[in-house]
Amino acid sequence: MPQIIEALFLGLIEGLTEFLPVSSTGHLLLVGHFLGFESKAKTFEVLIQLGAILAILSVYFNKLWSIAKALPHDPEARRFVVGVFIAFMPAALIGALMHGFIKDVLFDPWIVCMTLIAGGFVLLMIDQIPLEATEKDATRFPLPMYLKIGLLQCLAMVPGVSRSGATIVGAMLLGASKRAAAEFSFFLAMPTMAGAFTYDLLKNYKILSTDDVTIIVAGFIAAFFAALIVVKTLLDYVSRHGYTPFAYWRIIVGAAGLAGLMVYG
């Protein structure tokens, strides 16, 4: 398969899975492994996330602009921005300190498969627990709750755990409704993914060739359009159906990946 076609396919996977609790990075690493797709310093898998970031910005632009305009005179708007910053900081610090270890050690298909399966069983359990939703507005969570969600997001440093899965499950366990948990996961994704993109680009831009940039742009475009569809439909879907379908998907993909690794290596 020509590399540009592989890049488009992987970008599609990134966009479809980034905001679902199934681990986009885990899917990219697994599919890339079996396709034989290699990117320099694993930059492709990180940099194409910019497409998914822009998808959120386009969908939430009016709401974000309203919050921005309210900052000078609205304490609630300022409090929400502070809350997002508090939730973002743990991942920013740990990601910067452990960047090399994460890419060199944890970006491993065996680890991905095992965490996909384990996370699937966690989602199944969460959907069966009668959680009381006391927080139904993602912009009005208590400040300590934002910090706790941010700490739980750090679990997603392990590929296969899922950034959105960790934040959504964490928020629900802390009292958020399914819809509010998913919405805050979107908000938190913006600084988290933008930070990862910027840090990775600054560390690796010197080793990227014109061909590398071309496949990254192709993946970015595919990720943008796929993520646009997911962001527009996910909130309504999870409000009605919960996360059980994603749990089964994780278990199936993780088990299939393990079988593939044992047979093909």
List the pLDDT tens digit at each of the 265 positions of the chain: 578 999 999 999 999 999 889 999 999 999 999 999 888 878 898 899 889 989 989 988 999 999 999 999 999 999 999 999 999 999 999 988 998 899 888 999 999 999 999 999 999 998 888 888 899 999 999 999 999 999 999 999 999 999 999 999 999 999 999 889 989 999 999 999 999 899 999 988 889 999 899 999 999 999 999 999 988 888 778 767 778 899 999 999 999 999 999 998 7
- Name 135's bridge partners: 176
Phi-psi label, residue 135: left if phi above 0, alpha if psi -120 to 50, beta otherwise: beta
Q: How far is CA 114 from the centre of its chain?
A: 18
The number of angstroms, rounded, from the C-alpha of 48 to the middle of its chain's C-alpha atoms is 12
Instruction: State how far the Cα of 13 lies from the Cα of 26, in Å rounded to an integer.
Output: 10
* Nearest-5° Cα angle at 186, 198 to 137: 140
Listed residue (195, 17, 11, 185) closest to 116, CA to CA: 17
Q: Which amino acid is at 25?
A: T
Count Cβ atoms within 10 A of the Cβ of residue 238 and give its class: 0-12 exposed, 13-18 middle, 19 or more buried. Answer: buried
CA distance 184 to 175: 13
What pTM value is reported for the model? 0.90
**CA–CA separation, 139 vs 78, rounded Å?**
10
Alpha-carbon distance of 180 to 168, in angstroms, equals 9
